[in-house]
Amino acid sequence: MARDERRPTWALFLLLGVVLTVTLQLVSGLLLALGWIWLLPFHIIDGLVAALFLAGEWSWLLGYGAGRRSAARIFLFSATTRRRVARQWRNLGRDGTPLREGLDAAVAGIFLLLASVTVILGILLWRGAGDLLPWHRSLAAFLLLLWVLHLAFSVIDHWPRRRRNGVSP
């Protein structure tokens, strides 16, 4: 990967902020659903911070060349990524290419879109639109499923592979 294809340090911090705040949103939201209502102020504050990090991430994706190339990959605008996703889907991820270049890229794109919509719904809910709670909860539940899927793909990509006949895969 060429130097201009990599994320700048500040964009890595934005991504880390998105990952941490959205993960905390999922955990605190799940605990809220289980009755831990005292977490509501934390959930609201973390949601506002998540909105800032998500806005920064979208700014990087849309405003910089490397960001636009990354957006093309995760939102399947790239023909190469679409082919990889189709091939990995047909072969259940066993075609030898890293999942982060195919199926996991698509999951990351859907996750980013749904996280953004869920946070926006959460802010509207906080501002008094109580009728949005079922939508917010449904999207958050699907987001949690995508989070687990993304984690599983990352573990599979980084799991040590066995060597066959002295040749690494």
pLDDT in tens, 82-141: 888 888 887 765 667 777 777 888 889 999 999 999 999 999 999 988 888 899 999 999
> Is it the case that residue 168 has pLDDT exceeding 90?
no
Residue 69: burial class (beta carbons within 10 Å; 0-12, 13-18, 19+): middle
Asked whether residue 123 is assigned to any structural domain, the reply reads yes
Residue 27: burial class (beta carbons within 10 Å; 0-12, 13-18, 19+): middle
Asked whether residue 127 is assigned to any structural domain, the reply reads yes
Asked whether residue 24 is assigned to any structural domain, the reply reads yes
Asked whether residue 41 is assigned to any structural domain, the reply reads yes
CB atoms near residue 105 (< 10 Å): 24
**pLDDT tens digit string along 9-47?**
999 999 999 999 999 999 999 999 999 999 999 999 999
pTM listed for this prediction: 0.83
Q: Which domain does 76 fall in, by range? A: 9-135+148-157
pLDDT, residue 76, reads 86
pLDDT, residue 33, reads 92
HSE-up of residue 131 (Cα within 13 Å, Cβ side): 0
pLDDT band, residue 57 (cuts 50/70/90): very high
Residue whose structure tokens are 């066959």: 164
Q: Which two tokens stand for residue 150?
A: 């993304």
Count of structural domains, the chain = 1
Asked whether residue 162 is assigned to any structural domain, the reply reads no
pLDDT, residue 95, reads 67
Phi-psi region of 164 (alpha: psi -120 to 50; beta: other; left: phi over 0): beta
Asked whether residue 83 is assigned to any structural domain, the reply reads yes
Asked whether residue 116 is assigned to any structural domain, the reply reads yes
pLDDT band, residue 3 (cuts 50/70/90): very low
> Is it the case that residue 169 has pLDDT exceeding 60?
no
Asked whether residue 69 is assigned to any structural domain, the reply reads yes
- SS3 for 105-163, per residue? HHHHHHHHHHHHHHHHHHHHHHCCCHHHHHHHHHHHHHHHHHHHHHHHHHHHHHCCCCC
pLDDT, residue 1, reads 46
Instruction: Return the H-helix or E-strand segment holding 60.
Output: helix 40-63
Cβ atoms of residues 19 and 68 within 8 Å: no
